[in-house]
Amino acid sequence: MSPVRIPSETHKNMQAISLVYYFLLVSLCIDFSQNETSALVRRQRRRMHNRGPRRSSSAGHRSPRQPRMKPPAPVAVAPSIPLLNVDDGVMGVFDSLIGLGEHESSYSVLPGKKGHCIANGMMMYDKAVWSPKPCITCLCSKGEVLCDTTMCHPLKCPKTIIPAGECCPVCSDTDSSLDSSITSLDDISELSGDSPEPNDLDNANVLSSSPTQTEKDEPLRTEVVEFKGKDGHKKDKKKRKRKGKKNQRRHKSHHREKQLISRKEATEEEETQHESDGDDGTFIRMPSHFPIPVPPIEAPPLPAGCSTSDTTVSCINAKLTQIPPISDPDLTSLDLTGNSITTISDEAFNGMPNLEWIDLSKNNITSPGIGPQAFKILKKLKRLYLDGNMLIHIPSELPSALEEIKINDNHLHAIDEDVLQDLKNLVTLELEGNKLSEANVSPLAFYPLKSLSYLRLGRNKFRIIPQGLPATLEELYLEHNQIEEVSEICFNHTRNINVIVLKHNKLEEHRIAPLAWINQENLESIDLSYNKLYHVPSYLPKSLLHLILIGNQIERIPGYVFGHMKPGLEYLYLSFNKLTDDGIDPVSFFGAYRSLRELFLDHNELKSVPFGIDEMRKLRFLRLNNNKIRTVPPERICRTHINDDDHDHSEEEENEDSHLEHVHLENNYINTRQLSPHAFSCIRSYCSVVLKPQKIK
């Protein structure tokens, strides 16, 4: 061997050995990196397995034979991140997308405090949404960022165009754009924004491909999209996409080309992922084209001065000139009191079909301003308040479900016979402070109200009791009218009536027919205050318990006027009249001795305590103040012994304790120092007797 050849061969051998060592070193580094990555993946699997990955209902199920693709590495963060607002509907979609695995996505740089995300040095708050590229939307959720492309609705039209600044195509012909049925998705795949190239995003790869016409109705398949977490390691999330079985192989090849992965490497990666895809939940499926719906067109926000609480919107004194355009099917109460609303259109309540209560009091609503169909849509409306407006007629087409209507203090001057015909569920009707009278109210106006029990017609111009009152009526209020008589036929059909209020009218006792109400079996309260009565009326109802005669000119209580009542009168108010000692007979209270509980005789012209009070064993409250009484005899209020000649009560009743609790005798001419110590012996507490002040002679 020549001395020149040996060094050359030795040099070549050394080079070969060095090359072998180099490849061995590279192989060891690769194995070490793979082992370290596998260990991290196994730890991640154990965490996901223990935590139990959540899967969205829209994720579906992938065939076990379906391979997985190895995605490319993420790119840098985009320089501009415009923020967007998202309504509750879109947030709900993102929430379901977040629930697919709670992995940190590659779009998140580092999670900030309290779930914030940091992108390109900017902190994004939890659930912030931005668009790094047109047609791409990203969400920050609990420190991770999720991105997806905008879905475009397929169109059936010969030509489509993409308007400037828009993501999705529109039909160039307006007539054909009305047909939204799907014809061919291949024609619009490049326009829809569903298939961005990997370099479309600056810092995230959102991979997708457009389905063809033959694939649109075939089962869904999944893709694997690589994300990079905050720890710098890769994490896999899968996207679902509609793809036909016949085109899966072509789609896989296309997918690998997009990710710049060779066919051999992709096959090895798919086999590895397929073997490791078990029940441990390592791979999380995420739809590649998750349907983010376009937010619905919302009504304008509530005006200033309005507030909302649960199912109620309140706009009291908010200076509104129209009903606000609210769209909320769950709304049940709407309060618009004290505004300047003048009209109610037919569409005013279309966005609130389930309203049960509307208060439009104290506005400027006129009858011509109310649309004929304004309230018809409100099938559940039970209470309608229109007090203090400018109505001349009751609105038409009111919902049959109404139970209460208030149209007080308007300008109503007529009630036709058919305006209330459909209100069979109406219980309360208030029409006070209008211009109604027997001349402009039809006798058949109230007849259809089969459930009416409460009717207020005060402060109108009635001269007689309205005719045609429904049989179900229980309470009738006719104060502040011009009623002069009560005829025999007024209450013939109202056998259930319980309360009649006729105060502030022009009634005289002889204008009340003897048979007007004497046979009523349920009438318990009559208010005849401030009329023109000179005597307590006779022929009062047998069932009467409560009689109010305040503010008349009554001079006398006829004897036995209460004698026919059963079970007996309990409350008698005769304040502010002209009663004298001669006007009260010893038998004036006959029939009420055993029942009377309150007796008001104040502000009259009595000079002594009336006879018979000592026999009222159930009396609790007695008012004799503001009269001309000078003394209180010992036995006039409290009985001290039994009268054997009195057969009106038994000995047991005479001896039972008095129930008197309050006695008012102030503002008389009583010398309190001369009162007998037995004058109030039946009263348990002397502090219940009011004697001061007294008038001076």
Token output for 630 = 């000078």
Compute the C-alpha angle 66/68/74, nearest 5°: 155
Higher pLDDT, 206 or 265: 265
**Poorest-pLDDT segment among 25-34, 185-194, 593-602, 685-694:** 185-194
Token output for 189 = 């795949």
Mean pLDDT of the 428-447 span: 94
Residues of the chain above pLDDT 90, percent: 44
Per-residue pLDDT tens over the stretch 15-36: 667 666 666 765 665 555 555 5
Instruction: Report the distance separating Cα 230 and Cα 108, nearest Å.
Output: 7
Token output for 680 = 């109030």
**Buried-exposed string 390-405: b where 16+ CB fall within 10 A, e elsewhere:** ebebbbbebbeebebb
Q: Are 184 and 158 in contact (CB under 8 A)?
A: no
Token output for 412 = 């109503």
Q: What is the pLDDT of residue 217?
A: 43
3-class state of residue 18 by DSSP: helix
pLDDT-based confidence at residue 657 (cuts at 50, 70, 90): low
Higher pLDDT, 375 or 140: 375
CB under 8 Å to 580, separation ≥6 — which residues? 555, 604, 605, 606, 607
Q: What is the pLDDT of residue 162?
A: 77
Residue 572, pLDDT above cutoff 60: yes
Higher pLDDT, 268 or 447: 447
Cis peptide preceding 567, ω within 30 of 0: yes
Q: What domains are defined for the chain?
A: 41-151+194-298 (no CATH), 555-697 (3.80.10.10)
Per-residue pLDDT tens over the stretch 91-104: 433 343 333 333 33
CB under 8 Å to 631, separation ≥6 — which residues? 608, 670, 671, 674, 675
Higher pLDDT, 32 or 402: 402
pLDDT-based confidence at residue 298 (cuts at 50, 70, 90): low
Higher pLDDT, 685 or 527: 527
Rg of the chain over CA atoms, in angstroms? 46
Token output for 342 = 């003048």
Higher pLDDT, 240 or 549: 549
pLDDT-based confidence at residue 201 (cuts at 50, 70, 90): very low
Mean pLDDT of the 626-650 span: 71
Q: What is the pLDDT of residue 76?
A: 41
pLDDT-based confidence at residue 562 (cuts at 50, 70, 90): very high
Name the nearest CA neighbour of 668 among 599, 603, 573, 576: 603
Element (H, E) at 456: strand 454-456
pLDDT-based confidence at residue 90 (cuts at 50, 70, 90): very low
Ramachandran region, residue 613 (left: φ > 0; alpha: ψ -120 to 50; beta: rest)? alpha
3-class state of residue 219 by DSSP: coil
**Poorest-pLDDT segment among 137-151, 314-328, 368-382, 387-401:** 137-151
Across the chain, mean pLDDT equals 74
Q: What is the pLDDT of residue 144?
A: 80
Token output for 399 = 């919902």
CB-hemisphere CA count at 13 Å for 106? 24
CB under 8 Å to 25, separation ≥6 — which residues? none
Mean pLDDT of the 369-385 span: 94
Cis peptide preceding 693, ω within 30 of 0: yes
Higher pLDDT, 71 or 530: 530
Tokens 């037995």 belong to 678
Residue 307 CA from chain centroid, whole number = 12
pTM: 0.58
Residue 129, pLDDT above cutoff 80: no
SS (H, E, C) 597-641: CEEECCCCCCCCCCCCHHHCCCCCEEECCCCCCCCCCHHHHCCCC
pLDDT-based confidence at residue 173 (cuts at 50, 70, 90): low
Higher pLDDT, 507 or 94: 507
Q: What is the pLDDT of residue 111?
A: 41
Residue 501, pLDDT above cutoff 50: yes
Whole-angstrom CA distances from 419 to 137, 303, 404, 448 are 56, 34, 15, 10
Token output for 212 = 């063809």
Q: What is the pLDDT of residue 180?
A: 41
Per-residue pLDDT tens over the stretch 609-625: 998 898 998 999 999 99
DSSP type of residue 74: P
Residue 554, pLDDT above cutoff 70: yes
**Poorest-pLDDT segment among 278-292, 297-311, 515-529:** 278-292
**Poorest-pLDDT segment among 157-161, 307-311, 533-537:** 157-161
3-class state of residue 144 by DSSP: strand
pLDDT-based confidence at residue 171 (cuts at 50, 70, 90): confident
Angle at which helices 263-276 and 248-258 cross, to 10° = 110
* Single-letter amino acid code for the residue at 272: T
**Poorest-pLDDT segment among 214-228, 421-435, 468-482, 626-640:** 214-228
Dihedrals phi, psi of 557, to nearest 5 degrees? -110, 105
Tokens 């009738």 belong to 476
